[in-house]
């Protein structure tokens, strides 16, 4: 199944735009699950089972597992997610970007070793660095466009001599020449809804992954008004800490389920308004 079809199917079956970010943090997990020798795996599986009903996608964040020396738990968590919840999109957030010959290895890592349906990429080395990823026709890639962090304007907002900011140039490229294989999406932070509206105008059909809701204080209503399409989809609204650590204690999974459901319902209410 093509990446866009899989994404459409995950929106349709879940009736949700929620993407649950898996950003495990050992200190916080220990308060939830004090006694386990595979804490990232146990925590991830519990969160997945508790929130799957309310989510179209999960986004494991590579550095959180790598920095803790727990990449084997990233792999088993992704395997579990694919086996138990095959209709959910798995986005491996590793923000790679390198010369094409090396990028081919990163693509193999993300899609074949970890089995992700999609990855996040940094496109600022140029379109040739995306090609090894696009060659996996059933897989997808979300390219950073206008990121959620406070300093994202420093480079992404630079005005080009040809007119308009750099991030809009990236949006146009991703919608057109970079997207020959029809498997790209964009990343735009919920902390920049005005910019999201401009990106949506340049890339009306691209799926957009939107982090920044919850812990980063992004504006959900403005995000949906700026980026949702006529069908009420087109976006994956990510929340990581806001769901994972809704409660840091034995009731963490139930609290995460509640937080994911609340986000799903708030999205539905905004879309209906």
**Residues binding ligand OMP (CB under 6 A):** 21, 23, 61, 93, 95, 120, 147-148, 187, 189, 211-212, 214-216, 238-242
As measured in angstroms, the least distance from the Cβ of 14 to ligand OMP is: 19
| Alpha-carbon dihedral sign for residues 67, 108, 44, 80 | negative
Residue 86 CA to residue 82 CA, distance in Å, equals 5
Question: How far apart, in Å, are the Cα atoms of 9 and each of 26, 46, 56, 137, 182?
Answer: 33, 24, 9, 17, 16
CB of 84 to ligand OMP, least distance (A): 22
User: Residue 23 or 202: which CB sits closer to ligand OMP?
Assistant: 23
Q: How many CB atoms lie within 10 A of CB 46?
A: 17
Of 138, 130, 145, 139, the residue nearest 179 (C-alpha): 130
Pick between residue 14 and residue 238 the one whose CB is nearest to ligand OMP: 238
User: Cα(98)–Cα(104) distance, rounded to whole angstroms?
Assistant: 9
Helix residue ranges, H only, 92-244 = 100-107, 131-134, 153-156, 166-175, 193-202, 220-227, 241-244
Query: C-beta of 193: minimal distance to ligand OMP in Å?
Result: 13
| CA end-to-end span of the chain | 33
d(CA 268, CA 262): 10
Q: How far is the CB of 161 from ligand OMP (least distance, A)?
A: 26
178 versus 192: smaller Cβ distance to ligand OMP: 192
Which tokens belong to 219? 């504006």
Is residue 88 annotated as a catalytic residue, yes or no?
no
Q: Which two tokens stand for residue 9?
A: 């199917």
Q: Provide the minimum distance between the beta carbon of 36 and ligand OMP in the complex, in angstroms, as a whole number.
A: 23
Closer residue to ligand OMP (CB): 162 or 224: 224
Q: For ligand OMP, give the closer residue by CB, 110 or 214.
A: 214
Among candidate residues 5, 59, 95, 264, the one labeled active-site is: 95
Active site members = 95
């Amino acid at each position: 199944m093509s990446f866009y079809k899989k994404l459409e199917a995950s929106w349709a079956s879940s009736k949700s735009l929620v993407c649950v970010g898996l950003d495990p943090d050992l200190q916080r997990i220990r308060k939830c699950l004090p006694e386990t020798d595979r804490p990232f795996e146990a925590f991830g599986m519990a969160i997945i089972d508790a929130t799957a009903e309310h989510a179209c996608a999960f986004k494991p964040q590579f550095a959180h597992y790598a920095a803790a020396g727990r990449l084997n738990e990233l792999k088993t968590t992704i395997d579990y997610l694919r086996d138990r919840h095959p209709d959910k999109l798995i986005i491996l957030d590793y923000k790679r970007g390198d010369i094409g010959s090396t990028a081919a290895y990163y693509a193999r890592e993300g899609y074949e070793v970890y089995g992700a349906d999609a990855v996040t990429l940094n496109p600022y080395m140029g379109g040739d660095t995306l090609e090894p990823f696009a060659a996996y026709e059933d897989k997808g890639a979300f390219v950073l466009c206008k990121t959620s962090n406070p300093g994202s304007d420093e480079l992404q907002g630079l005005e080009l001599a040809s007119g308009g900011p750099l991030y809009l140039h990236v949006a146009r490229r991703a919608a057109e020449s970079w997207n020959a294989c029809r498997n790209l999406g964009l990343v735009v932070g919920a902390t920049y809804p005005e910019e999201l509206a401009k990106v949506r105008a340049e890339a009306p059909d691209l799926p957009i992954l939107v982090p920044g809701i919850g812990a980063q204080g992004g504006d959900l209503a403005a995000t949906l008004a700026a980026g949702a399409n006529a069908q009420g989809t087109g976006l994956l609204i990510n929340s990581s800490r806001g769901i994972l650590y809704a409660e840091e204690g034995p009731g963490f999974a139930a609290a995460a389920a509640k937080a994911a459901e609340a986000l799903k319902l708030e999205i539905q209410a905004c879309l209906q308004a």
